[in-house]
Chain A
Amino acid sequence: MNKGKVVVGMSGGVDSSAAAYLLKQQGYDVIGVTMQIWQEESRQIQEENGGCCGLSALEDARRVASKLDIPYYVLNFRKEFQDKVVDYFIEEYQNGRTPNPCIACNRYVKWEALLHRAKEIGADYIATGHYARIEQHPVTGRYCIRTSVTAQKDQTYVLYNLTQEQLQSTLMPIGEYEKEEVRKIASNIDYFVSKKADSQEICFIPDDDYVGFIERETGEKSKPGDFVDMDGKVLGKHKGIIHYTVGQRKGLGIAFGKPMYVYAINKEKNQVILCDNDSLFQKKVYANQMNYMAIEKIEGEMRFQAKIRYNHQKSWCTVREIEEGKIECVFDEPQRAITPGQAIVLYDGEYVAGGGMIIGSE
């Protein structure tokens, strides 16, 4: 019956609660763990929520673990989270890019750090409540992420950066279920958890004001500079480059007479370059820091479908390696707002072939 020991990362939400339940049903020896990664709550928020250590999520996770009758621990990963996620997040914005903190968190905190801790305490696997499956690729035999059985929810994009070793030691039980089934499973465990909303995008910035967050963390106000057009003509003043992301239209703060969008950010000149909507469409993407999953490497020209952001529709493209770990990807059709700092993830059908960080476009 016993299939080994697994540490489940529990957030107190629907998905990870269901994951813990399913693994227990499947005969694993399950240990629940909540990773404490961030605590930046004013005393006021703490007083309102009555939390000593913030994050009322802990209480939900603890209750679920107790109902499932599994051991439960809260582990502290604040230092790792600060170093690998928060600092990276701030640095990327300061460099004029748009980071995806979930990807960094998955690779370095949820996997690297948690897996290490799990193995220390004698576990064989870690598990999460992601909507994705982990399988060996039918042709290459390599471990890779495969899309979940439900089309409603696909979290493969944020998982492209896991290593073979990490994938081998990971279980994602809810990738086999529809969203509604998962909610039903959760409601059998705990009514309140099953009614919880999906988690928000940037977990460590609950008010969504990432600019305010960066300014508080660094103690520096972002430096105003010029909006320029594609010919370098000055169009007005911007509030500091961290306020902007490629493709953005709202919040530029100036009326230009026609719709204008952020085309690019020039950190050296502290400029934000604007363009019209048509100019946002491009075909060619450059990416580095490639991580390969289903394939070992890019050989010659290879055809994939790719996503350039979380909610992007997969599109066909041709990819070749231009130097080690660096690729050029040419889409069949022009794509809107290719954003440096975001990931490009390559798919071979339902399997993640690999991915990397976007560094430029043409």
Chain B
Amino acid sequence: METKIYFDNAATTPVRQEVLQEMLPYFQDFYGNASSVYTIARKSKTALELARKQVADALGALPEEIYFTAGGSESDNMALKGVADALQKKGNHIITSKIEHHAILHTCEYLAEKGFEITYLDVDQDGKISLDDLKKSIRPTTILISIMFANNEIGTIQPIAEIGKIAKENGIYFHTDAVQAVGHVPINVKDMNIDLLSLSGHKLCGPKGIGAIYIRKGVQITPLIHGGAQEKHRRAGTENIPAIVGLGKAAELAVAELPQTAEKLTKLRDKLIHGIQEKIPYAKLNGHPTDRLPGNCNIGFEFIEGESLLLLLDSAGVAASSGSACTSGSLDPSHVLMAIGLPHEKAHGSLRLTLGHYNTEEEVDYVLNILPEIVERLRNMSPLYEEFLKKQKS
């Protein structure tokens, strides 16, 4: 069946019409290389700098602190490897959390192989790190703290300003992977003492394959990609102008509309969460009840397999997810759900529905209508449920 309802906006989002319109002229009309001197290239250069300003404004940063990359993963890699390389004489200790995206976790594993020491902070049952733990784990050799702004699976938002303050007091760089947060919750890098921040275009109705990294003025960092002088020598490669224009426009729109969007999505999200919990027994919300992304609903259904749930939703025309999307599409028990203390089988039975710009209340109603039946069907076939019912009787 064709997908009728798209509830996987944390995986990616459609490009908004306004964004696409801004991008189109830069494919065929203004195709010049932004580094060239002639008129048509100047159009590209102007567009590049406008987009840089749009992204900077979305973060409360200066335009010269924004560097375009090929996406969130590249930005995360650049932050970690770049700072590790630049500061290796100062120290070799990095603090992060157990619920980071793989772009952070796998990069940390790589750095660990190169001799860096990594502390992975635990999170509580709602998915928040403890500021006390953070303070205690700081060493004289700590060169970087990298904690995600908001989690991609359970939506929990970290106390970013407090983390920034602690980092600043200790003279340690603070990076945040804000791929899920930019355009969804208010961010100000200056107020929050953020030194480096990663963001991605396709999570806020911009195009895929484009992202940016904010690097506070004065931060020492080694480039990841060497080559031409683009992005002030920090990121070589001819700028992807259409995508950059799209990212700029998407960021501008998202931030301008943020209060209304957040209100709308929070309302839909809460209707979804409460509706599911009213209609389906043994359904538990994963993540923080209020400090969570406006569009994120993550529910664990006891006794059932998340994979079968997703397949049945797919055949009912609903696109959903049970965690982060790996390229194989196969699902492992999520490291995030394990970190908030869910046992293996419950980590398997979770459903993530993430709402975005184009979703409506009717769609929420439709899902609330079909989901109880599907869960019921799977539970009726589940040996775990059968066992549970038997135990209840005796």
Contacts and interface: CB of A to CB of B under 8 A. Distances in A.
Interface of A: 36, 51-55, 58, 71, 73-76, 78-79, 116-117, 119-122
Nearest to B328: A53
Contacts, number: 48
A121 to B, nearest CB: 5
Contacts of B315: 71, 121-122
Nearest to B381: A120
Contact of A74 (B305, B329, B378): B329
Given A116-B381, A120-B381, A122-B315, A74 B328 contact: yes
A78 B333 CA distance: 11
A71 B329 CA distance: 13
Contacts of A54: 328
A161 to B, nearest CB: 20
17 contacts: A51-B328, A53-B328, A55-B328, A71-B315, A73-B307, A73-B311, A73-B329, A74-B330, A75-B307, A76-B330, A76-B332, A78-B332, A116-B381, A117-B305, A117-B308, A120-B308, A122-B312
B314 interface: yes
Interface string B274-308: 00000000000000000000000000000001011
Given A116-B381, A120-B381, A121-B315, A36 B308 contact: no
7 shortest A-B CB distances, which residue pairs?
Answer: A53-B328, A74-B330, A120-B308, A36-B330, A52-B327, A74-B329, A121-B311
Contacts of B314: 71
A85 B314 CA distance: 31
A36 B331 CA distance: 9
A22 B182 CA distance: 49
Contacts of A58: 328, 330
A120 B305 contact: yes
A73 B332 CA distance: 14
B389 interface: no
Interface in B319-350: 326-332, 344
B351 to A, nearest CB: 15
Nearest to A54: B328
Given A75-B307, A76-B307, A116-B381, A121 B312 contact: yes
A120 B315 CA distance: 12
A73 B312 CA distance: 12
Contacts of B381: 116, 119-120
Nearest to B314: A71
Nearest to B110: A43
Contacts of B326: 52-53
Interface string B193-222: 000000000000000000000000000000
Interface of B: 305, 307-308, 311-312, 314-315, 326-332, 344, 377-378, 381
Contacts of A74: 328-330
A117 B307 CA distance: 9
Contacts of A117: 305, 307-308
A46 to B, nearest CB: 10
B378 A53 contact: no
Contacts of B311: 73, 121
A272 B285 CA distance: 57
A119 B381 CA distance: 9
A233 B35 CA distance: 84
Nearest to B331: A76
B261 to A, nearest CB: 32
A42 to B, nearest CB: 12
A58 B328 CA distance: 7
Contacts of A75: 307, 330
Contacts of A55: 328
Contacts of B332: 76, 78
Nearest to A72: B329
Contact of B308 (A53, A79, A121): A121
B342 to A, nearest CB: 15
A122 B311 CA distance: 10
B172 to A, nearest CB: 28
Contacts of B329: 73-74
Contacts of B330: 36, 53, 58, 74-76
Nearest to B382: A120
A129 B308 CA distance: 23
Contact of B328 (A52, A78, A119, A120): A52
Nearest to A62: B329
Contacts of A52: 326-328
B93 to A, nearest CB: 22
Given A54-B328, A73-B307, 5 more contacts: A53-B328, A75-B307, A119-B381, A120-B378, A121-B311
Most chain B beta-carbon contacts within 10 A, residue among A54, A55, A76, A120: A120
